[in-house]
Amino acid sequence: MSQPLFIAVNAREVLARHGLDTFEGLWGSRCNASSKRVLRRGGWNTVVRLELEDINGHLQTFYLKRQEDQLVRSRSHPFGEPVYAREFRFIQRFAHMGIPSLETAFFAQRRVGGRHQAILLTRALDEYRSLDVWFERWPDLDWQGRQDLIMAAAALVRALHNAGKMHNSLYPKQIFLKLDGDGAGARLIDLEETRKAWFGERDRMRDLSSLHRRSQVASNTQQLRFFLAYLGRSRLDDEARQLLVRILNRRLTD
């Protein structure tokens, strides 16, 4: 049993040109031979980079994610749904909410012989680098570059939490950033575990604490600047100070 598929308007031509505008075409594409299966959740998944030449001779790059029998359960899907179906849904929701994340080019799912299969194709973020990669380059960045990255990351996390959502696995490798001439851009990836922040501040603290714990390359001053930007404050008042203490305490107990 197949579910209706999604194809982005700006990807339809290039996918059709290479015979990859159907579930069967992407599932059986030759590029899959180079991808390793990752076993998890009672099934498997593969991720491979896909480079396709469009009608103008330009390369369009994507990441092709396939999975079989990797299900996740939630209140809305108590019997489980493919992990990539959940990620696709959050990518589309975030687009409507104005939270920058991935851009879906193709999604579809089906059941074959009792097996749940799903495909999620997203555009590659080639102009971006993950925050942990930026941390590796931290000593080579000037003050303004570091400031722009910190402010962009803070604005992204604030937009996520203001929308009542939590990433639930928020580490530097899930925040993708790019520097341009007048600031920085930011996007979230890996939305498989994203959910509504049912527990309010406690859930937001979980995101912030996990990000803080793995951002020790940044100085204390830079981390404070991130925190103030996240709160939309210019200084550390009593409320902000109490919140920061809770984040630090959680880091010590996690």
Predicted confidence (pLDDT) per residue in 220-249, tens digit: 889 889 999 999 998 888 888 888 888 877
**Residues 118, 217 within the same domain:** no
What average pLDDT does this structure show over 182-209? 92
pLDDT of residue 17: 97
Buried b (16+ CB within 10 A) or exposed e, 120-149: bbbbbbeebbbbeebbeeeeeeeeeebbbb
**Residues 41, 143 within the same domain:** no
pLDDT of residue 1: 47
pLDDT of residue 40: 79
pLDDT digit string (tens) for 17-57? 999 999 999 998 876 555 678 887 789 999 999 999 999 99
Q: Are the CB atoms for 131 and 173 separated by under 8 Å?
A: yes
**Residues 24, 103 within the same domain:** yes
Cα(181)–Cα(14) distance, integer angstroms: 31
Domains of the chain: total: 2
pLDDT of residue 2: 54
pLDDT digit string (tens) for 141-181? 999 999 999 999 999 999 999 999 999 999 999 999 999 87
Asked if residue 1 is part of any domain, the answer here is no
Pick the last residue of a domain from 123, 142, 158.
Answer: 123
What average pLDDT does this structure show over 205-226? 91
pLDDT digit string (tens) for 56-74? 999 999 999 999 998 888 7
What average pLDDT does this structure show over 179-187? 89
What average pLDDT does this structure show over 94-107? 97
Cα(201)–Cα(195) distance, integer angstroms: 14
71-72/6-7 β-pairing: unpaired
The beta strands (E) that lie in the chain are given as: 6-7, 38-40, 43-53, 59-68, 71-72, 81-82, 104-112, 115-123, 129-130, 165-166, 175-180, 183-188, 195-196
Cα(240)–Cα(229) distance, integer angstroms: 11
State the DSSP code for 76: S
pLDDT of residue 204: 93
How deeply is 219 buried, as exposed, middle or buried, from its count of CB atoms within 10 A (0-12, 13-18, 19+)? exposed
Cα(186)–Cα(149) distance, integer angstroms: 8
Domain containing 221: what range?
129-253
pLDDT of residue 137: 95
**Residues 89, 16 within the same domain:** yes
Helices (H), 99-253: 131-136, 143-162, 201-213, 220-231, 238-253
